[in-house]
Structure formats: C-alpha cells, structure tokens
Amino acid sequence: MVRSLRNEKPVPCNAVQLTGGEPTLREDLLDIIKICREEGIDHVQLNTDGIRLSTDPTLAEKVRKAGVNTIYLSYDGTTLEKNPKNHREIPGILDNCKRAGVGIVLVPTVIKGTNDSEVGSIIRFALKNLGVIRGVNFQPISIVGRVPERERERFRITIPDVMIKIEEDFAGEISCDDFYPIPSCMPFSNFVEALTHEREYELSTHFACGMATYVFLDGEKIIPMPRFVDVDGFFEYLDEKAVDLREGASKYAVGIKLLYSLFTKYVDKSKAPKRLNVSRILFDALLKHDYRALGILQHNSLFIGLMHFQDLYNWDIERAKRCAIHYATPDERIIPFCTFNVIPEWYRDKVQKEYGMPISEWEKKTGRKLSDDLYRRIVSSEPLKAPQAS
C-alpha cells in the first residue's frame, strides 16, 4: 500500500496518516510505522483517541522512535460533557507526549448545537499548551447521507460558521479575515519549483475543502500571521518571481530581491512577535529549501485549520478530482477521501468486507475475547476540573 503511494507521479506521496478504528489497539502498530519510514515516508501521523497514550506511559516514546511525527488527537471540547471520550485522559496524553518529544494536533469534530460553543475554549487550551500542541484542525461534521434532511439541518455546520464562532469568541482578536483557503499556498510551490526545477506539491484542492491560519503568542497577546505579514502581496510577489525564474532570471538576483522585500515590505517587524525572525524563516524555507525553518515556525505558533469533508447530497466529482487526502487500499488503489466514505457501497464497505475479519474469526485466531480489551472509564462523583496547561 505504501509503495503504491510512493509510486505516484509526478510527486511521490511522502505523508501518511494511520487511522482506524483505533490504531493503537494493533499489536503490530510499531512495525507498520517502521514500514512507512523504510519505504520513504517522511511524515507519519497517528490518528488516535489517545487513551492508550495515557494509560501506557511508554507508548508515546515507542511510536516516536518508530517514526511518528505527529499525534492527530480526537478532542471535541474542554469539558467532560462535551468530550466524554477522553477528557479524563487528556492530562496524561499531553504529559507523555511532551516527555517523548512528539507534537499533537487537536482534531475536534464540530456539531451545531452540541459543541460549537467550544471552539474558542479549544483554541485557548491549545495556546496554553504550545509546548506540545502544534495545531487545532476543526472538522465540521460530515454526515455522509446517514440521516434525514431535518436532522442534517439540525446538526450541520460549515467552515464559515466555525470561523464566525472563532471571531465572536475572540472578539476579533482572531477574525475571519485571518484565514486563507488551502490552495492559497500554491505560490510557494510555484516559486520553489521554478527555483529548483523539481516538482512540488501544489495542494490545488477545491477552495471549499479547507481554510487555515497561524497565530502567535507575544506574551499574552495573540497575533495572527496576516496581522504582520502582507499575505496577499507576498503571494503575488512569489508568483511574479516564479515567472522571472522560468524566463531565465538569476536565482541569486531573485534571492537578494526576495530577502530585501521580506525585511522591508511584506513583514511588519513592529507588529510581529518580538522573539521570532519571520522574515528569515520564510527566506530560509524558500531560498535554501530548508524545511527546518518551517519547523521553527511551527514550534512557535499554533496552526488553526478547518477541514470539511463532503456529504452525499453535495458530493461534487470535480471537487473529488482535486482531492489531496486519499485512502490507500490493499489492492493498491488510491481513492479520494470523500469518494471512499460518501459512496460506501462502492468503496469503504466493500473494501472492509473483503479485507476485514469477523469478530468471531479474530477471537478464534487469537484465543482472546474482544471484550477483554474494553476500556471502562471510572466516573468519579467529585467535581471535575478542566485540564490545566502541561
């Protein structure tokens, strides 16, 4: 499956997310992670509810050493009521991941009338734990045709709805104008391609698939990146320089002009975080092709993303053709995410039936009962305090 991803043209896949179900229940998880890295995958995400990362203090270090870069952690709210699945385990998850040196991205599924009031609290919780939390990736609920229309209207929330909630919760300190659609970053790819003559990811997804921004802390002050970087002007400038490079301009001359522009025109140092040289980071990432520079940026900021998968009633084949997130299947197919889930009778259910194992067969093969692995939460009668910064 990994080899089929690595054989993609013109740019081999170099990022894989291991998901489920719950992948930490697999006894061969470490072997799978190692296989991904051995086959040339640079970035391995582990998508989990985190319970075993909390109950087994050694697991975070084991998965990091095997090759996991990021824990993609399900997290639907800051209270037990909003996030019953792993609220009590969150402090242990954060402590163990921080000790192991592996970063976390919180992944809240946002449902209207259920936990949409939590979006601001979730971001604040992430900002308090920047030592281990790298981002929050909100996922407005995708119902994929499973409920009647009246129920869909009751629960469905869109990317703009969530952005408005964030703006209201932060009283404009983070606003809708601070977010950009994912394909906005294509000028970066165009520029690096023109500079190195090597193909790069373009992330030319449909604009409705996702939005994102970065925010920084300067003391107690929250500063979104677009408040001190002229994002629109910088993107336009990169596209212009990419054309110059393709027409034969000297990369050294372009580099000097880029460095001058970053320090004098596109980054306002008076509004930028004091302890971070953003101009230098962007220059190193673009001209030196040094992705460690982006790592510095990532470790000193909070990524806030919004990703909305399609539903059955609004599935768009043109949007699916531009998908940047796919499933790899054992028969070596690579299937767009929304296609796999939204048309389950053609893809997901069929694949799982063919390659999955009935519980009875698994229990006979392993000599174990599935119920033996049931995780029973102990619900205390004592008042519960919200998790504090780790």
What pTM was estimated for this model as a whole?
Answer: 0.93
Given this model, what pLDDT does residue 383 score?
44
The secondary structure of residue 267, as a DSSP letter, is B
Contacts 24+ apart (CB under 8 A), 161-167: 161/112, 161/116, 162/110, 162/116, 162/119, 162/138, 162/306, 163/211, 163/306, 165/116, 165/117, 165/119, 165/120, 166/119, 166/120, 166/123, 166/304
- Give the separation between CA 273 and CA 130, rounded to whole angstroms: 15
Given this model, what pLDDT does residue 147 score?
77
- Give the separation between CA 164 and CA 161, rounded to whole angstroms: 5
Nearest to 115 by CA among 140, 152, 85: 140
Q: Which residue has the tokens 């677009």?
A: 226
For residue 80, what are the contacts with CB-CB under 8 A and spacing of at least 6?
87, 88, 384
Per DSSP, the three-state class of 266 is helix
Amino acid at 114: T
Domain ranges of the chain: 2-184+201-224+301-373
- Give the separation between CA 72 and CA 124, rounded to whole angstroms: 18
Task: Answer for the pair 72, 105: CB distance below 8 angstroms, yes or no.
Answer: yes
- Give the separation between CA 339 and CA 134, rounded to whole angstroms: 29
Q: Between the CA of residue 150 and those of 143, 315, 317, what are the distances in Å?
A: 12, 19, 25
The secondary structure of residue 301, as a DSSP letter, is S
Render the burial of 229-253: b for 16+ CB within 10 Å, e for the rest: bebeebbebbeebbeebeeeeeeee
Altogether, the residues listed in the chain come to a count of 390
Task: Answer for the pair 221, 249: CB distance below 8 angstroms, yes or no.
Answer: no
Given this model, what pLDDT does residue 381 score?
45
- Give the separation between CA 231 and CA 212, rounded to whole angstroms: 13
Token duo for residue 260: 């001058």
Signed CA dihedral, 279, 282, 287, 289: sign only:
positive
Token duo for residue 183: 């394909």
Counting beta carbons within 10 angstroms of the beta carbon of residue 37, is it exposed (0 to 12), middle (13 to 18) or buried (19 or more)? middle
Alpha carbon of residue 122 to chain centroid: 15
Alpha carbon of residue 39 to chain centroid: 22
The 10s digit of each residue's pLDDT in 29-53 is 999 999 999 999 999 999 999 999 9
Question: What number of CA atoms fall less than 13 Å from residue 330's CA on the CB side?
Answer: 8
Give 2-184+201-224+301-373's CATH code, choosing from 2.70.98.10, 3.40.190.10, 3.90.480.20, 3.20.20.70.
Answer: 3.20.20.70
Nearest to 177 by CA among 224, 242, 112: 224
Q: Supply the Cα-derived Rg of the chain in whole angstroms.
A: 22
- Give the separation between CA 328 and CA 359, rounded to whole angstroms: 23
Tens digits of pLDDT across the chain (390 residues): 999 999 999 999 999 999 988 999 999 999 999 999 999 999 999 999 999 999 999 999 999 999 999 999 999 999 999 999 999 999 999 999 999 999 999 999 999 999 999 999 999 999 999 999 999 999 999 988 777 888 888 999 999 999 999 999 999 999 999 999 999 999 999 999 999 999 998 889 999 999 999 999 998 899 999 999 999 999 999 999 999 999 999 999 999 999 899 989 999 999 999 888 888 888 888 887 776 777 788 788 999 999 999 998 899 999 999 999 999 999 999 999 999 999 989 999 999 999 999 999 999 999 989 888 788 765 554 444 545 554
* Beta-sheet pairing, 103-107 with 109-110: unpaired
